[in-house]
Amino acid sequence: MQIEPIKAFEDNYIWALRREGQLAVVDPGEAGPVLRFLETSGDRLCAIMVTHRHGDHIGGIAELVARYPVPVFGPTREAAEVVTHPLRDGATVCIPGLDDEFTVIDVPGHTLGHIAFYSDGVLFCGDTLFGAGCGRVFEGTMAQMQASLARLAALPPETLVYCAHEYTQSCLRFAHTVEPDNAAIDARSAKVDELIGAGRPSVPSTLAEEFATNPFLRWQSPAVIAAAATLLGHAPVNDVATFGAIRLWRDSL
């Protein structure tokens, strides 16, 4: 399976999964860029995969399925207006045309029904985990979001993280504010600046890179705990409190 980004809106990535002329897309918020990609590549659309109900992830689906009546795999608990094949936590789904099997992981927090897709070293995580960041906690609790991130963090460290937005540069600036002495953050910033400067995506990253640089996975790092303690005015009582304090800090900027 080949994976390529299709750019949409300002900073969204619609991920294109290709195998032998067949193409599945993840989170097509717009139809136009997908249709242009299909025209250029000559691929046949075989499936659509959806992580959550936000418009910048599902907005293009109606137009795509009107042209190509393909199955739409997505959450059980939301986006029912577009999803034809609702998926439960732990389900395995074989994407027709690709023949790749994905495991579904419930990751509530950004939205309550948000799911992620994992297959053999690749993760499509929508707006849950970003390069050096994580999605806003719109619907769930801090505890739900932290637990969701912990589930993703339990995947193999070499897993490639395909998130849905190019937010890495600004996330790394925040990461540096949280942990000014973390050299891995500065090294990653330099690398990402170079990629973006060359017009290339900063994603996918690996989970290992995220462990080293992402403050929203580093609730056990002494520097992140110390930052949370300063924000809270007392030591955080647990990982959720650490995560929550950092997330609220980010929201306040």
Q: Does 106 bind Fe ion (CB under 5 A)?
A: no
Catalytic (active site) residue 234: no
- Given the complex with Fe ion, which of 127 and 166 has the nearer CB atom? 127
Tally of CB atoms within 10 A around 103 = 17
With b meaning 16 or more CB within 10 Å and e meaning fewer, what string describes 169-197? eebbebbbebbeebeebbebbeebeeeee
Q: Does 30 bind Fe ion (CB under 5 A)?
A: no
According to CB under 5 A, which one of 18, 53, 54, 218 is a site residue for Zn ion? 54
Catalytic (active site) residue 52: yes
Rounded to whole angstroms, how far apart are CA atoms 249 and 233? 13
Catalytic (active site) residue 110: yes
Report 56-75 residues binding Fe ion (CB under 5 A): 56
- Given the complex with Zn ion, which of 18 and 54 has the nearer CB atom? 54
Q: Check 43, 54, 106, 114 and give the catalytic one.
A: 54
Rounded to whole angstroms, how far apart are CA atoms 34 and 236? 45
Look up residue 166 and give its two tokens.
């190019």
Q: Does 27 bind Fe ion (CB under 5 A)?
A: no
Report 117-176 residues binding Zn ion (CB under 5 A): 127
Q: Does 27 bind Zn ion (CB under 5 A)?
A: no
Rounded to whole angstroms, how far apart are CA atoms 95 and 103? 11
Can you give the C-alpha Rg of the chain in angstroms?
18
Catalytic (active site) residue 165: yes
Q: Check 27, 43, 120, 165 and give the catalytic one.
A: 165
Catalytic (active site) residue 127: yes
Q: Which residues are catalytic?
A: 52, 54, 56-57, 110, 127, 165
